[in-house]
Amino acid sequence: MGGPVTWLVILPLITALAILAVSSNRTHVFRWVALVGTGLHLLLTGFVTWQYWVQASRDGATTGDGLFTKLYLVERVPWFESLGIQYLVGVDGVSVAMIILTSIVIFCGVLVSWHVVERAKEFFALLLILVTGVFGVFVSFDLFLFFIFYELAVLPMYLLIGIWGTGPKEYSAMKLTIMLMASSALILVGILALHHGAPVPTFDLTQLAQHSYPLAFQSWVFPVIFIGFGVIGALYPFHTWSPDGHASAPTAVSMLHAGVLMKLGGYGALRVGIYLLPEGAKEWALVFMILTTINILYGALAAIRQKDLKYFTAYSSVSHCGFVLFGLVALNSIGIQGAVIQMFSHGIMTALFFALIGMVYGRTHTRMIPEMGGLGVRIPWLAACFYIGGLASLGLPGLFGFVAESHVFLGGFFGNPWIDTTLTRTLTIIATLSIVVTAVYVLRGLGTVFQGPLDEARFGHLTDATLTERLGSGILVAVLAIGGLVPFLFLDLISPSLVPFVERLGDALIRLGVL
Amino acid sequence: MYYLPELVIVAAGFFVLISDLFMPKHHRKYLPPLSLGAAAIAIGLLLANVNVAAEYLGGRFVISPLTTWFKIIFLLGGAFTVLLTWNSKRFERITAPGEFFSILLFTQVGMMCLISSTDLASLYISLELSTIPLFALAAWKRGDKYSGEAGIKYVLYGALASALLLYGFGLLYASSGSLDLRVVGDTFTATPLAWIALALVISGVGFKLTLTPFHFWAADVYQGAPTPVTAYLSVASKAAGLAFMFQIFFGMFGAQLAEWQWLIAALATASMTVGNLIAIIQRNIKRFMAFSSISQAGYLIMGFIGPYPEGAPAMLFYMLIFAFTNMAVFGVIMWYDDETGRTDINDYHGLSKTNPVLALVMLLALFSLAGVPPMAGFVGKFFLFSIAAKAGMHWLVAVAAINSTISLFYYLRIVRAMYIETPTEGQRRLPVSPVMQTTLAVTTAGVIFLGVIPLFYNLIERHLTDWLRWFAGW
């Protein structure tokens, strides 16, 4: 029953239900259920990736151009037929990349949440329901289905932060939920407009893409959709939910949220916004390019001022998610490629950060940077991982972050035929300055925490990472290194699937008479 | 004999009414299952002939898939209400249970005739039959000052609305010379007299459906009335309001519907915005649900913006979902009120620890009301919003969607109390009766599956369009 892609979506849900079925007293059992479930999911992800790769290469070989641009592993079931709604799932290179990211992050998230005690059963179940939504978003190609999964991914956050969070958790949870839900209201308006604007009303993304909407229509729908997705992608000035939310959330939730959920923004903006509305994108590219430049710099500058490790990482995430949107609105193939790589690499990187912060906090019971010092002596594993993540985030060649950021900046630098190149280049150069700022805050922050004299009385007794923690953080570090050393593996996976996006942009060029 | 369901309910109503005379007290516990049985038989009969169209009494009483589906929703609302009262500790103490159930059944008959009637006179009479007995039900808690207040307020507002409506009907009759809905609609000319008539009729509709600015009675009546009656008011009575609006807008003025768009949009905007904003500051959960229902009515009437073949199935489907969802919420409210006597939102703290299943039921139902996927409420709302979008009213979609977000804010207050706040010392697990368990299981199943399984919507949609095709040919 069901193809592999459907299983990809329902496996976390089944795991969640299995956890709920276990008696609450047996803490060990449902931890293991969660681990086995997410482990199986990782295997399934591998299988899907392999299937995709095989089928796509075969197609590429027969057509001779080596491009595999269509959807694979498609499952299509009519749902509300009279309204053009169907259950349509499938994968292309971008979806596969995002699925791999999510699988890795949730697996590591379960590993590092091994010692959650309070209401652990509900915690793991909700976490897995959230992940169901995330996987659903990445594989659905019907906008109705897409939207259902999108909200399913957002809403469990309220309870996850509200119940298991720290600090002003109720405030943060409510702020996050309301801001994200308000943004999804915009997305809903956009989706319905797209549906009724098409000659044959349908929610099928691949069919909607056959149609080019009138310019006047595109120029109001595009900003609605882009801002709708931009809120979850931490677009300035709609990012304010993100630092509070991340700071209050428990470790695994921060990992998932910053690592994966914020990527839904970039993914949606690309898949729905730029793909369906290329002319609208062109109209608004400059505005959003300016906003994302502010995003990048503002996030980085704000991170310098933070004393709390979680706020520190959260602002750094705002800055890095700015790269994703910046790459997208560069509106050329290399920029979009950079955006997708950045989604992946930042997902891994920030998940690593939040996991490590959780581990450090579990030992020191403080997240305040100035209170710590010299911890590297006692917890060398955590320190090493933290440094690797930090170096990746400031774009050190050899790590994944470099690949992503270089693509994004190149994309911005090349610009596109619609906007004066001097403008895009200026903006790109301003944005590049953030690398320097990032270097300042990462090195200063980490230096304070892990180097210098150790407060023996307070931190002398600390022990290094346990086995599950080592496993969780080790996997993430390994992915960062692999991505940085052999980036072509990843590029080969995604770039062919970016062709349709670029083609749509090219068509728009021709229609508008620029070329 | 396609009017048999009505006869079944009438017969059951009379039997239950006189049962107080001869039935020994200890046998009165059979009254709820009896009423329920009558509703079940009627629903069965309706479902068996769901695709039938017929006329009786010289065309004054029509049966069509539309009326049948409406009747199913009315009866479901009635059946759930009976289930809520069954086994209720407070209800065991009420005097004359026979009267209570017979009144309930008679209002059901009124609603069923309301959607089937085709002329102004029978429309008015059946509307009153579905409203006036409810005045008594609202004041049922004898000696309770809130219940008394609810009864009085309902009577006063109801009488006013009814008078306005009757005046409006009179003017319509005067301007067209006919009582037949279709003739009135066809001969409608835009004279000042006709506009006044319409304004009066709409205020009557607005009262029944709790549309802003005709909603003022709702909060006090919802709060004061016994909880099952509140549930009945918010589901079945609201469905009757919708049926009435169907009669006016689709039945009478179907041809001129395009001219109504702005009026509907304005009413919808006002209802959802006012309902939502006032709901935020409520402390009593029943008052809170009153404002929530006002905003739901606002979403509901968005269906009138589109033409009949799109609007009717979407609105019926939403009403069906709303019946299940609201009954789930009121089930929990009823149960908690019954066990603890508390109806404040803050009193729900820690419910997820003491009664996790009940808290989950409440959570799912509230999310469905807020229109969060994958609950049925989302799917229903999506279809309604889609109609507004199709008519080009994207601003209305935006208003409605933002309103859904606001509503989520206040529904989350209850979720917060249940899940995030901790139970007080000594708060223990509360028992749930088997009937209540069944009720909540059924309603929750509806909340989860009505939207995910396409069967129900497709069924309603197909029946209505088939019938419409046949009707147009005829």
Q: What stretch of H or E contains A91?
A: strand A85-91
Residue A465 contacts residue A381 (beta carbons within 8 Å)? yes
Amino acid at B416: R
The pLDDT score that the predictor gives to residue B42 is 93
CB contact (8 A) between residue B405 and residue A181: yes
Nearest to A400 by CA among A479, A469, A303, A286: A479
The pLDDT score that the predictor gives to residue B186 is 80
The pLDDT score that the predictor gives to residue B471 is 61
**Angle, in degrees to the nearest 10, between helices A93-112 and A120-139:** 170
Helix locations, A209-332, DSSP H: 215-232, 241-248, 251-256, 262-268, 275-276, 278-304, 309-329
For tokens 């990462």, the residue is A442
Amino acid at A125: A
The 3-state DSSP composition of chain A as helix, strand, coil percent (nearest 5) reads 75, 5, 20
Rg (C-alpha) for chain B, rounded Å, is 21
The pLDDT score that the predictor gives to residue A4 is 85
The pLDDT score that the predictor gives to residue B94 is 65
The answer to whether B354 contacts chain A (CB < 8 Å) is no
Q: What is the mean pLDDT of chain A?
A: 85
Nearest to A145 by CA among A132, A160, A162, A129: A132
- Residue from A79, A179, A189, A227 whose CB has the most chain B CBs within 10 Å, to mutate: A189
Q: What stretch of H or E contains B179?
A: none
Strands (E), B13-104: 54-56, 61-63
Q: Which of A163, A177, A182 is the closest to B402 by Cβ?
A: A182
CB contact (8 A) between residue A147 and residue B372: no
- Residue from B321, B372, B460 whose CB has the most chain A CBs within 10 Å, to mutate: B372
The pLDDT score that the predictor gives to residue B474 is 42
**Shortest alpha-carbon distance between residue A113 and chain B (Å):** 20
Has residue A55 got a pLDDT over 90? no
- Residue from A148, A158, A170, A202 whose CB has the most chain B CBs within 10 Å, to mutate: A148
Residue of B nearest to A220 (CA): B394
Is the pLDDT higher at A33 or at A67?
A33
Whether the link from the prior residue into A278 is cis, omega within 30° of 0, is: no
Q: Looking at the predicted complex, does its ipTM rise above 0.85?
A: yes
CB contact (8 A) between residue B394 and residue A186: no
**Shortest alpha-carbon distance between residue B397 and chain A (Å):** 6
Is the pLDDT higher at B277 or at A417?
B277
Q: What stretch of H or E contains B382?
A: helix B376-390
Measured distance CA(A229)–CA(A235) in Å, rounded: 9
For tokens 């507004």, the residue is B388
SS3 B247: helix
Rg (C-alpha) for chain A, rounded Å, is 22
- What's the full length of chain A, in residues? 515
Residue A10 contacts residue A95 (beta carbons within 8 Å)? no
Q: Which of B402, B404, B461 is the closest to A82 by Cβ?
A: B461
Chain B environment of A158 (Cβ under 8 Å): 412, 415
Residue of A nearest to B415 (CA): A159
Residue of B nearest to A183 (CA): B402
User: Could you tell me the two tokens for B420?
Assistant: 């995030």
CB contact (8 A) between residue A181 and residue B408: yes
CB contact (8 A) between residue A189 and residue B398: yes
Q: Is A63 exposed, middle or buried (0-12, 13-18, 19+ CB in 10 A)?
A: exposed
Instruction: Specify the range with the lowest mean pLDDT, choosing from A1-10, A178-187, A225-234, A276-285.
Output: A1-10
Chain B environment of A170 (Cβ under 8 Å): 416, 420
What torsion do the CA atoms of B177, B179, B183, B189 make, to the nearest 10 degrees?
50
Q: Which of B401, B420, B458 is the closest to A185 by Cβ?
A: B401
Nearest to A469 by CA among A32, A112, A115, A114: A112
Is the pLDDT higher at A347 or at A59?
A347
pLDDT band for position A66 (50/70/90)?
A: very low
Chain B environment of A81 (Cβ under 8 Å): 454, 458
* DSSP per residue, B230-257: HHHIIIIIHHHHHHHHHIIIIIITGGGG
Measured distance CA(A439)–CA(A344) in Å, rounded: 21
The 3-state DSSP composition of chain B as helix, strand, coil percent (nearest 5) reads 80, 0, 20
Residue B298 contacts residue B271 (beta carbons within 8 Å)? yes
**pLDDT tens string A141-162:** 999 999 999 998 888 888 888 8
CB atoms within 10 A of CB B59: 11
DSSP state of B424: P
The pLDDT score that the predictor gives to residue B233 is 92
Q: Which of B401, B420, B454 is the closest to A189 by Cβ?
A: B401
CB contact (8 A) between residue A83 and residue B386: yes
The whole-model pTM stands at: 0.92
Has residue A475 got a pLDDT over 80? yes
Chain B environment of A79 (Cβ under 8 Å): 454
Q: Which residues does residue B61 pair with via DSSP β-bridges, in sequence order?
A: B56, B117
Q: CA quadruple A54, A57, A63, A68: dihedral positive or negative?
A: positive
Please state the domain extents for chain B.
Answer: 255-474
Q: Which of B373, B383, B402 is the closest to A152 by Cβ?
A: B373
Residue A321 contacts residue A265 (beta carbons within 8 Å)? yes
Please state the domain extents for chain A.
Answer: 4-511
Nearest to A283 by CA among A219, A216, A193: A219
Q: What are phi and psi of A76, to 5 degrees?
A: -135, 120
For residue A159, give Cα distances in angstroms to A162, A174, A405, B243. 5, 10, 34, 38
Is the pLDDT higher at A430 or at A457?
A430
CB contact (8 A) between residue B405 and residue A182: yes
Mean pLDDT, contiguous 10-residue spans, chain B (474 residues): 89 88 79 90 91 83 89 93 81 72 92 90 91 88 84 91 92 87 81 86 90 88 90 92 88 74 90 92 91 93 86 91 94 88 85 87 93 89 91 91 91 89 80 88 92 86 78 52
Chain B environment of A189 (Cβ under 8 Å): 389, 394, 397-398, 401
Measured distance CA(A243)–CA(A235) in Å, rounded: 13
- What's the full length of chain B, in residues? 474
Q: Which of B367, B405, B419 is the closest to A163 by Cβ?
A: B419
Residue A172 contacts residue A245 (beta carbons within 8 Å)? yes
The pLDDT score that the predictor gives to residue A248 is 86
The pLDDT score that the predictor gives to residue A68 is 47
